[in-house]
């Protein structure tokens, strides 16, 4: 199915679906008139084959198997009906099934290519894979037989573009030159300064796409002194001028984050924006209440010969070095010393799991607020629960919300979780993630999907040669 930006699902390969009252069985009716790009018929057998392949540990699926949640098994009840059975109710299932990761692969191509399939993918979509050179390019060509556009697209029938070449620009500094020199018509993930430069150029259109999911944030480790004291954590939030920080590093491209979820995420609680206005007096008062009253000759607060020093992790993504520098300067005025250590991603994961640092940066994209479970459930203490929190109420709300299909019942549960996170100052939210895209003016009809990362190229056309 296809998901629109309001979180509603629309028919795609599945024309309809029914969820059993216990939330365990999903029955999908499929279109009868679909063929894979290699001519293999699309039917219930193909779907079951795909689901089984993802769930098979030998496939080494990571993202897909995660999206299927507590998947138990799948079976066909007739040639165009699939029954998907879960071990326990799992509300985010449709969200997972609507994502590109769980696109359907031709069983014939799976048989033919085996573990080389990733280089020879065959699906049902508007474009088919022509060639792929790792680290360099992926070329797709128009599928002239495509006639399954979901109703949320702007047109029907085959796509407008004959061919699309994706090129990979791993280093952010190389992206703007590639766009300006005509090597690319559309570029994603520009650095903020480069985006400002493109925005001022009438030949290009800047396209800011808000990314739903976790906001860019620092987890505050609740089990390490001095951050184990709620007042200290709250003081850090009151003592951070987040608006100035975000403006200094990202200009006007990225909004200040209010809580654990980016504001655009379904279920993000708008009330959180009222919490923790910049208030250095209140921060100082909270620190004093926690016993941090004296300052040493460097202006750092001390309590019984102990300096108020925090250890934090920085990484190379998201301009974190600049963010860290500004935080350091702002907190120094409070009398808080922060010592940053820049780490590679694997080293940071390791340190965060072991809980040896007080401040751990994080961001994670996703449309369903169930992602909060990954970061705040006590079952994740050995995983991604980097604030090291164990709150039975939060566990219960998250679990219940994941098992409840009805959104009107889920939303209040997530609101409660978010309020608890902020009341307890388990995180320091920094900003909502925004993908800074730019396109040459001849590109028409470009939009981005609900996840924010993927351009919907099906509706794109070109108005002129470059």
Partner 1 sequence: MLSYLRRRLIVAALTLLGIATMVFLLVRLLPGDPAETMLARSGASPQAVAALRSELGLDRPLPLQYAGWLSELLQGNLGRSLYYNRPVTQLIGEQFAYTLRLALAALAWAWLAGPALGIAAAYWAGRWPDRLATLLAVLGATVPVFWSGLLLIWLFSVRLGWLPATGAGSWQALLMPSLVLGFATAGPLARIARVTLLEVLAQPYVVAARAKGLTRRQVLLRHALRNALVPLVTVSGLQLSFLLGGTVITETVFNRPGIGRLLVDAILNRDLPVVQGVALLTAGFYVILNLLVDLAAGWLSPQAGWQ
Query: Where do contacts with partner 1 occur on this chain (CB under 8 A)?
Result: 57, 60, 62-63, 65-66, 115-116, 118, 133-137, 167-171, 173-174, 177-178, 180-183, 343-351, 353, 364, 366, 371, 374, 379-380, 382-384
Nearer to partner 1, 139 or 208 (CB): 139
Angle between helices 407-423 and 392-403 (to 10 degrees): 160
Nearer to partner 1, 334 or 377 (CB): 377
Nearer to partner 1, 331 or 440 (CB): 440
Q: What is the nearest approach in angstroms of partner 1 to the Cβ of residue 432? A: 19
Q: What is the nearest approach in angstroms of partner 1 to the Cβ of residue 211? A: 15
All residues at 6 or more sequence positions from 4 whose CB lies less than 8 Å from its CB, including other chains: 10, 152, 450
Q: What is the nearest approach in angstroms of partner 1 to the Cβ of residue 182? A: 7
* Closest-CA residue to 365 (of 101, 40, 120): 101
Angle at 291 between CA 285 and CA 292, to 5 degrees: 70
Q: What is the nearest approach in angstroms of partner 1 to the Cβ of residue 414? A: 16
Nearer to partner 1, 371 or 415 (CB): 371
Q: What is the nearest approach in angstroms of partner 1 to the Cβ of residue 17? A: 24
> Looking only at Cα atoms, what is the longest distance across the chain?
78
Q: What is the nearest approach in angstroms of partner 1 to the Cβ of residue 353? A: 7
Helix, strand, or coil here: 49? Answer: helix
- Pairing state between β 2-3 and 9-10: antiparallel
Q: How far is CA 457 from CA 125, 140, 342, 436, in A?
A: 11, 11, 37, 17
Residue 161's CB is within 10 A of a number of other CB atoms, namely: 19
Q: What is the nearest approach in angstroms of partner 1 to the Cβ of residue 82? A: 24
Nearer to partner 1, 34 or 398 (CB): 398
Tokens standing for 249? 């590093």
The residues pairing with 206 across neighbouring beta strands, listed in sequence order, are 438
- Pairing state between β 301-303 and 294-295: antiparallel
Distance (Å, whole) CA 143 – CA 84:
29
Tokens standing for 254? 């990225």
Nearer to partner 1, 294 or 344 (CB): 344
Nearer to partner 1, 20 or 315 (CB): 315
Q: What is the nearest approach in angstroms of partner 1 to the Cβ of residue 412? A: 24
Q: What is the nearest approach in angstroms of partner 1 to the Cβ of residue 234? A: 28
Nearer to partner 1, 133 or 333 (CB): 133
Cis before 109 (ω within 30): no
Nearer to partner 1, 206 or 349 (CB): 349
Nearer to partner 1, 332 or 353 (CB): 353
Number of H helices, E strands in the chain: 14, 24
CA 310 to chain CA mean position, Å: 28
Q: Are 24 and 86 a contacting pair, CB within 8 Å?
A: yes
Q: Are 437 and 455 a contacting pair, CB within 8 Å?
A: yes
All residues at 6 or more sequence positions from 180 whose CB lies less than 8 Å from its CB, including other chains: none
Q: What is the nearest approach in angstroms of partner 1 to the Cβ of residue 210? A: 20
């Amino acid at each position: 199915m296809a998901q629109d930006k309001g979180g509603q699902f629309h028919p795609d390969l599945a024309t309809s679906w029914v969820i059993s009252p216990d939330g365990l069985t999903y029955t999908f009716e499929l279109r009868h008139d679909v063929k894979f790009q290699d001519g293999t018929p699309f039917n219930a057998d193909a779907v079951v084959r795909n689901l089984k392949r993802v769930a098979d540990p030998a496939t080494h699926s990571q993202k897909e198997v995660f999206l299927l949640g507590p998947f138990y098994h799948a079976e066909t009840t007739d040639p165009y009906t699939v029954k998907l059975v879960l071990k326990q109710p799992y509300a985010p299932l449709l969200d997972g099934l609507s994502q590109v990761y769980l696109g359907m692969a031709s069983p014939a191509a799976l048989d033919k290519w085996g573990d080389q399939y990733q280089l020879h993918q065959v699906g049902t979509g508007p474009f088919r894979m022509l060639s792929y050179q790792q680290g360099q390019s992926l070329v797709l060509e128009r599928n002239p037989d495509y006639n399954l556009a979901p109703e949320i697209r702007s047109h029907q029938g085959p796509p407008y573009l004959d061919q699309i070449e994706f090129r990979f620009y791993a280093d952010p500094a190389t992206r703007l030159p590639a766009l300006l020199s005509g090597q690319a018509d559309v570029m994603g993930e520009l650095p903020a300064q480069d985006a400002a430069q493109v925005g001022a150029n009438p030949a290009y259109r800047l396209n800011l796409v808000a990314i739903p999911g976790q906001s860019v944030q620092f987890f505050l480790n609740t089990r390490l002194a001095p951050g184990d004291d709620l007042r200290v954590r709250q003081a850090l939030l009151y003592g951070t001028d987040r608006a100035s920080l975000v403006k200094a590093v990202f200009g006007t491209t990225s909004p200040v984050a209010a809580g654990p979820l980016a504001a655009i995420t379904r279920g993000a609680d708008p009330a959180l924006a009222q919490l923790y206005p910049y208030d250095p007096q209140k921060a100082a008062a909270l620190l004093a209440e926690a016993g941090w009253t004296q300052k040493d000759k460097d202006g750092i607060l001390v309590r019984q010969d102990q300096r108020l020093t925090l250890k934090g992790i920085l990484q190379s993504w998201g301009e974190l070095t600049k963010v860290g520098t500004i935080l350091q300067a702002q907190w120094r005025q409070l009398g808080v010393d922060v010592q940053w250590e820049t780490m590679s991603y694997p080293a940071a994961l390791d340190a965060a799991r072991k809980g040896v640092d007080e401040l751990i940066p994080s961001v994670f994209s996703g449309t369903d607020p169930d992602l909060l479970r990954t970061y705040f459930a006590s079952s994740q203490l050995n995983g991604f629960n980097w604030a090291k929190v164990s709150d039975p109420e939060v566990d219960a709300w998250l679990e219940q919300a994941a098992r409840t299909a009805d959104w009107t019942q889920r939303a209040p549960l997530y609101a409660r979780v978010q309020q608890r996170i902020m009341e307890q100052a388990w995180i320091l939210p920094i900003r909502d993630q925004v993908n800074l895209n730019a396109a040459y003016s001849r590109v028409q009809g470009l939009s981005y999907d609900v996840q924010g990362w993927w351009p919907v190229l099906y509706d794109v056309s070109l108005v002129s040669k470059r």
